[in-house]
Amino acid sequence: MHKVLTQYPGIASRFLMIGEGGLYEEATAIQTVLGSCVSVTFLHTPTKIGAIFHALLPGWADFEKTPFPPNPYKYVDSASELPRSKLRSIKGIRPRTDSSNQE
């Protein structure tokens, strides 16, 4: 991380804890520590908007008794939907459901 911050002075930086994530419209250096957790990154190439989450558990419905989890970034299934729904709300972007690099 030190090398990235030195190479790109002024770049925003963020450390993700378990159950955190976000969508980033500007260059941001992000770091986290993984044990048994899962961290997934997304990039919408045409707009250079990226997203990441650091989840602990696979599915929210197996652990929560609410209609939607109070912290969606804690669960892989709900966290993976957040970047897609947020991208849809920005500039009319319609992300694909597959893993290709096309819009």
Q: Where are the domains of the chain?
A: 2-89
pLDDT for the residue 88? 81
- Tell me what the pLDDT averaged over the chain comes to: 85
User: Over pLDDT 70: what percentage of the chain?
Assistant: 87
What confidence tens digit (pLDDT) does each residue in 61-80 have? 888 787 777 888 999 999 99
The residue among 79, 51, 74, 52 whose CA lies nearest residue 63 is 74
Nearest-angstrom CA–CA distance, 30 and 22: 10
Q: Which two tokens stand for residue 3?
A: 């090398």
Judge whether residue 96 has pLDDT over 70. Answer: no
Q: Which two tokens stand for residue 46?
A: 């045409």
User: Over pLDDT 90: what percentage of the chain?
Assistant: 46
As assigned by CATH, the class of the 2-89 domain is: alpha beta
